[in-house]
Amino acid sequence: MLSVEKCPICGGEIVIKEVDKILRGGKHTAILKVSAEVCLSCGERLYSVETVRKFAKIRQQLQREETQEFQAMGQSFRVG
């Protein structure tokens, strides 16, 4: 069930989608798949309160380097 009928930014249609969310904390980055309400016009994403709390917890773990439960996916590089 959608929490809003229209996008609060542009008034476009909202649908529920699985999206990749990139989170950064300290020198680490995490990518996770989450459900979000996404505007089909402007791409604005709306997340549930529970999902936003999960983001905050993961960011804290990244900052504290508590990454033992996370799966390593390779390396990141800064270019330029």
Residue 2 in this model has a pLDDT that exceeds 90: no
Q: Where are the domains of the chain?
A: 14-63
Instruction: Using alpha carbons, select from 25, 52, 24 the residue that is nearest to residue 36.
Output: 52
CA 58/CA 67 separation, integer angstroms: 9
23-79 pLDDT tens trace: 999 999 999 999 999 999 999 999 999 999 999 999 999 999 999 999 998 888 889
Contact call for residues 73 and 31 (beta carbons, < 8 A): yes
Q: Indicate the pTM of the whole model.
A: 0.84
Contact call for residues 16 and 23 (beta carbons, < 8 A): no
Task: Looking at the chain, list the stretches that DSSP marks H as alpha helix, in order from N- to C-terminal side.
Answer: 49-63
